[in-house]
Structure 1
Amino acid sequence: MEEANKLKKATYHLWTFTISKLISSFGSQVYTFAISFYILQMTGSATSFATNLICNVLPRTLVSPFAGYAADKYSRKMIVIIAQIGTTIAIGGLLVVSLTSGLSLAAIYVTTIILSLTSTFSGVTFTSSISGLVDGARIQKAMSMNQMSISFASIGSPAVGGLLYGAVSMPVFLIIYMIASSIAVILESTMNFNLFANRKKKVEGERKESMWQSMKAGFSYLKLQPLIMAMIWIALLVNFLFGAFEVGYSFILIEKLKIASNHFGFTQGALAVGMLLMSIYFSVRKEVRFPFLVSKRGIMCMGMLMGGVAIPLLVTMPYTIIFSYYAILMFAFGVMIIIVNTPLQVFMQKQIDDDFKGRVFSILETMAMALMPLGMVLYGVLYDVIPAQWVLFLSSAVLIGVVLILARPSVVRKAHPEYRETNVIKEEAKSFS
């Protein structure tokens, strides 16, 4: 009877978790859209706009290790609730400023920093809590529904943001965001973060670790997990090499091929649609049998798609064909992102010890966030001095090579001892059946 109640509560968690993430993702992205629009309209300065982006990225990179430490040492439920309340208060503070003295860049930057901090603590803690909120059999469903929320927000937030920005004043917009954030707080307060958690119980009189010792313990734990280390290296190098796509895609379509802004936006939307549809598929299908293998193949496909971005630079095509080509390519990218991410996330949720999840996920996020700007700066320079098609082709080849080396057959067998190379096609077909 108790087990049935736990499963019933886990089902409730699936929906409250999804709705809460949808509210926070939607609110955050609509806010980012509206504030970016406001800054550009108010100042007309690209520097002011870039400064707001830095206020979002830099705090996230700096505090992520501390968020991981907190998620492993303190009540995860309390951290998530405090972070969401912090979001509500920050928006309330900006509302008060806008009503009393009018919005200023300083107030916007401070609010962006606070929102970046609260979203980091909330994001790392929620990711660390998935296996405690739902039963093992439905972790894939939970991860997929989480991704569905993000994808749905990516598709709808520009439209909703544009509509609200044009229809209501900034104070009304901020009040709407505050109400949505308050609903998320109420939903999160009803969740049991320890329902399926397998965390070590505190022993009376046991010597407490300092924050520094705890972080060192996280790195020591990772060193003893060669499989997780391989997955983290793959994730980091893929993130870095994807700078070629992040920078090159906009550069090629806007500068080289002169794609109209509305058509460019449509191709970006195709990416989110691909992610959404694949997330829905993963939420209803049974768990992938060989997640590491599926992700490996998915990354290789992404490498080929990245090279495919350069094809219209080499082959003359009518404008309509170019637009259609990029819409299909971006849709395929969206599909592949989910095929790569969801099985890997489920695999890591099951492989990483509950007491180390916060630190491991925060290490991954910190390193990825640190490498992303580096990749963008490097590729920004490369695109100025080397023809775009060669930058993409070379990066695509390196990406595929990195995956073939780091996810070689011996590593795949470590991840999936039941996997046999002699029956590759049959086993891979089963992994997606």
Structure 2
Amino acid sequence: MSKNLQRLLFGKFCSLFAASLFTFVAGLTVLRETSSGLQFALVLLAGTLPRILLSPVAGVLSDRWNRKKIIVTTEASSAFILAVFAGYATFFPVQTMHYMIVSALLTALSTFLSVTLMSSLTRLLDDAELQRGNSLISSISSLSSIVAPMLAGFLLAFAPIHLFTLLPFSLFSLAALWNMRLTFRAIPSAGEESSPSFWTDFQSGYRYLFKQRVLTTLILMALVLNFFFIALEVIYPIILLDRLTFTAFQFGTIEAALGTGLLLSSLMLALPRFTIKRPLVTLFQSIALVGMLFLSPVLPLLDVIPSNWTFGYFFVFSFIVGFILLRANIPIQLLVQRQTDPAYLGRVIGVMESLAMGIIPLGMLLFGFLSDHVSLTLILGISSFGLLVTVSIGFFHLRHDIKMERLPENQLKTEKTSTSAS
């Protein structure tokens, strides 16, 4: 493992863990002190909207500005915001609005950090280490989602919010100092140099993106697929907590199984033995498998699964879905990073992140409304059908690229040479 990857992973761990700690505590504290689902939802919304709105902007700026300075500045700014919040909370009562403001600011900074960092991987790592880097970053993200809530819940029982905030503050500060040691290498680009106008750069990024057939297809697929994935995210808790009356502990354990599946899959993909040689094939296979599994949660409602097996059944289901989902995410990241001109990489990733997140509020509102009026089996059935149709259309549209992936390397070079000659 290169020194650059070690530095990258440690800095990413510190920032992700810090963000996960504060996000969990903000929502938990508001819900506990107000008992208001609306105020809890507002805190969550404050932590979502900035990412949707700012991802394209972050993409443009990451292509125009010094990426190392953006990374270090966002980490240091996050630490500063938490220091101000801790100081305020020491002397004054903290209201829901304060949590919303801090969550929105941290999410805005996190958006610039995430887009810049992911678009910088090709300048930080060799191509042979790219999959390993993406996989280990996913491992850290999965680990944070499992451990941070447990640690935050434990510490909050003994420390007031102003003292608790010192932990994420310290982690963000450490990440800023550590990321100063990252070494970026210059990558020559065949594309145009950065335009003097921000708006011109913004437009040129979109023009570049929609000229790339594979990338455009992947982005449109991600938009539709994320919409249908929201159905499972909304319906799953309803089935477990409302229809099957699982306890909070059982539900939390099943949710942890999803994170465990993501973690194990990411660790496996970080090994050279599990290098993805055909990203498009792996992507379509993984999404098709998830689509076929979509109806599995309703089987216990139809008495197909014995009641004393339901907990183990859902535990295994969550683990498998988490394991497969990461095998869909990593190929997308590899394809985008390898097929995009480095001069446009920030803008492409920014647009993808904005579209992927932008469909979430609409999906949650729609499927949340439908869950009160329509059969859950019908909702998941339609979503499963939609996933499989989307995969089929994408597969047909990229069938030539998939065929090229299946060719041996020497035959692939011959094919490309003959295509160029013609």
Q: Pairwise mapping of residues 266-305 of structure 1 onto structure 2 (< 5 A)?
A: 266-286=253-273, 287-305=275-293
Is 1:370 the counterpart of 2:358? The answer is: yes
Match of 2:221 among 223, 229, 234: 234
The Cα of 1:285 is off from its aligned counterpart by 2.6
Could you tell me the TM-score, scaled by structure 1's length?
0.90
Q: Distance in 1 between matches of 2:254 and 2:363?
A: 23
Q: 2:32 maps to which residue?
A: 41
Q: Pairwise mapping of residues 185-264 of structure 1 onto structure 2 (< 5 A)?
A: 185-193=176-184, 195=185, 197-199=187-189, 208-264=195-251
User: What is the RMSD of the two structures over their aligned residues, measured on CA atoms?
Assistant: 1.8
Is 1:169 the counterpart of 2:169? The answer is: no
The Cα of 1:196 is off from its aligned counterpart by 5.6
Percentage identity across paired residues of the two chains: 28
Q: 1:428 maps to which residue?
A: none
* Contact 2:17–2:168, Cα closer than 8 Å, also in 1: no
* Contact 1:230–1:407, Cα closer than 8 Å, also in 2: no
Is 1:346 the counterpart of 2:334? The answer is: yes
SS in 1 for 2:277: coil
Q: Pairwise mapping of residues 126-165 of structure 1 onto structure 2 (< 5 A)?
A: 126-165=117-156
The Cα of 1:201 is off from its aligned counterpart by 9.9
Deviations 1:334-358 (A, max 9, x none): 1111111112211211001101111
After the TM superposition, which segments of 4 or more aligned residues of structure 1 sit over 4 Å from their partners?
A: 199-203
Q: Distance in 2 between matches of 1:323 and 1:372?
A: 28
* Contact 2:191–2:341, Cα closer than 8 Å, also in 1: no
* Contact 1:298–1:339, Cα closer than 8 Å, also in 2: yes
Q: Pairwise mapping of residues 15-34 of structure 1 onto structure 2 (< 5 A)?
A: 15-34=6-25
Q: Distance in 2 between matches of 1:197 and 1:100?
A: 50
The Cα of 1:418 is off from its aligned counterpart by 4.5
Q: Which moved more, 1:357-366 or 1:32-41?
A: 32-41
Alpha-carbon distance change, 339 to 196 in structure 1, aligned in 2, over 3 angstroms = farther
* Contact 1:134–1:196, Cα closer than 8 Å, also in 2: no
Match of 1:69 among 60, 63, 67: 60
* Contact 1:67–1:358, Cα closer than 8 Å, also in 2: yes
The Cα of 1:169 is off from its aligned counterpart by 2.0
The Cα of 1:254 is off from its aligned counterpart by 1.0
The number of residue pairs the alignment matches comes to 407
Structure 1 unaligned regions, length at least 5? 1-9, 421-433
Q: 1:386 maps to which residue?
A: 374
SS in 1 for 2:93: coil
Match of 1:407 among 369, 374, 395: 395
The Cα of 1:215 is off from its aligned counterpart by 1.0
Q: Distance in 2 between matches of 1:105 and 1:378?
A: 26
Give the letter for the 1:115 counterpart. L
SS in 1 for 2:369: helix
Q: Distance in 1 between matches of 2:267 and 2:187?
A: 26
Alpha-carbon distance change, 123 to 107 in structure 1, aligned in 2, over 3 angstroms = same
Deviations 1:213-258 (A, max 9, x none): 1111011101210111111111111101111101110111111111
Deviations 1:29-65 (A, max 9, x none): 1111111111112222111111111111112111111
* Contact 1:274–1:331, Cα closer than 8 Å, also in 2: yes
Alpha-carbon distance change, 202 to 392 in structure 1, aligned in 2, over 3 angstroms = closer
* Contact 1:94–1:103, Cα closer than 8 Å, also in 2: no
SS in 1 for 2:398: helix
Q: 2:413 maps to which residue?
A: none
Q: Distance in 2 between matches of 1:181 and 1:415?
A: 42
SS in 2 for 1:329: helix
* Contact 2:284–2:328, Cα closer than 8 Å, also in 1: yes
SS in 2 for 1:381: helix
Q: Distance in 1 between matches of 2:406 and 2:45?
A: 44
* Contact 2:59–2:348, Cα closer than 8 Å, also in 1: yes
Q: Distance in 2 between matches of 1:311 and 1:139?
A: 40
* Contact 1:68–1:362, Cα closer than 8 Å, also in 2: yes
Deviations 1:251-284 (A, max 9, x none): 1111111111111111100000011011110001
